[in-house]
Amino acid sequence: MKIVIIGAGPGGYETALLAAKRGVEVVLIEAGHVGGTCLNEGCIPTKSFCKNAEVIDSLREAETFGITGLSYDFDFKAVTARKNAVVEQLRGGVEGLLGHKLITLVRGKASFKDAHTVVVTRTSTTVIPSEAEGRVEESTEYTADYIIIATGSVSASLPIPGADLPGILTSKEILDLEDVPKRLCVIGGGVIGLEFASVFRSFGSEVTVLEYFKDILPRFDSDLSKRLKQSLGKRGIEICTQAQVTGITTVIPSEAEGSSVIPSEAEGRVEESPCYRVTYIRKGKEETVEADKVLMAVGRKANVGSLNLADAGIEFTPRGIVANDRTMQTNVPHIYAIGDVNGKMMLAHAATFQGIVALDHIMGIENEIDLSVMPAAVFTSPEAASVGMTEDECKEAGIPVKCLKSFFRANGKAVTMGETDGFCKLIVAAEPKEGCVSPFAPGRILGCHLYGPHASDIVQEACALISRNATLKQFESIIHTHPTLTEVLQSAVHG
């Protein structure tokens, strides 16, 4: 058996390694760096920034822990250098793993010639005696028994005037800034936007977030979203929801609102770098916000542009490649689509486990993976995390539930850490009213939503229980170490 995998992000390279471990020959095609968006311009570099932000916040609060007279400088160039070193270290580790004898790593851009043939195009530079340099495209064709598409996603943008201005950043460009902007406007209050808003607020930026929907984190539990919004607001992050951004223009700083430049001194000034004016409509009124940098964080879209999917007969929509929920097969049975490219759940760990599902299906192996139980985390300060159904989803589906809550301010470990802002919310199936039918037995745990210190770690316990259809009674019997943050789950269970 031979498998061609297009894309060496978490979904692609993890699937390649597992296939090779099982004795399957793999051709892994990658146009850029191995590790994909996650390792190179997503999960890993942003978490490196998050750690720097955490250290800075701790230094600011040092007096609370009896440390006085502290003096320090903030070197942003050192922050980005550390981030780059982390990425390079992990990328090198992945490249080392891909040296497996059954894996052939091919560098180049892949496209379908037909449903059974993938063409890889590479651009090489050759010296032409009579000229300077010439670029030559070389192409190679690959065929296999099965093909897995794992090309990931790219940043999306709003179709508004000014969105393509040179200084408008995506989640990729903001990672390579040379300086911390004094004012940062983030368009989009989803996971990406909020993480950068939180980080750059810690770095010292004045941050404004503009979100189109009525709540930040639209796909999360609304109770969690509202409480996290309040928490971020207390940190000085201005969040405007129900804000429809209509355009972006450039302005000279001395002409901007609130400029400190005195008119009589403006003449003869050296050329100034432009800042940006973002216009949006909120509650029927046009408003503006000015910033030195603007981050476009309105989500991501499937990376299918150069694949020639139509030539292979693969069905796709603006959301991504259409793939079976249980097998990851496309409408062409021997071709599979995993990760961001299928638009189901744009998370690195989702891509990894979808790859396992696809490979198991190819090899006829049964597994117990439930892709509907997919944890998600937001690495703001404080963190937020979620798994399973939300209260709103249950209401829309007519599922009777009860919500159990606890708060970090009552957690001993959180108090000792000085991080008491946060709450935990468990969604539990309730006894249906007379005449109603619920698909879940009373007491079954359906969801967990929390924000607070180490929420991304705590949610995993709930994820394990939900994936095994655990009940509240079973959860009650689990002993938790004291004092630990995970006791916030136990407190919610016991009410």
Residues with catalytic roles: 482
Residue 48, classed as helix, strand or coil, is: helix
Burial degree of 466 (CB within 10 A; 0-12, 13-18, 19+): buried
3-state helix, strand, coil in the chain (%, to 5): 35, 30, 40
> Cis (ω within 30 of 0) for the bond into 382?
yes
- Is the CB of residue 19 less than 8 Å from the CB of residue 98? no
Strand partners, 149: 6, 337
Q: How many CB atoms lie within 10 A of CB 21?
A: 10
- Is the CB of residue 153 less than 8 Å from the CB of residue 321? no
- Is the CB of residue 44 less than 8 Å from the CB of residue 20? no
Phi-psi region of 35 (alpha: psi -120 to 50; beta: other; left: phi over 0): left
Tokens of 72: 């320090």
Distance in angstroms between the alpha carbons of the first and the last residue of the chain = 54
Residue 59, classed as helix, strand or coil, is: helix
Tokens of 135: 């670029």
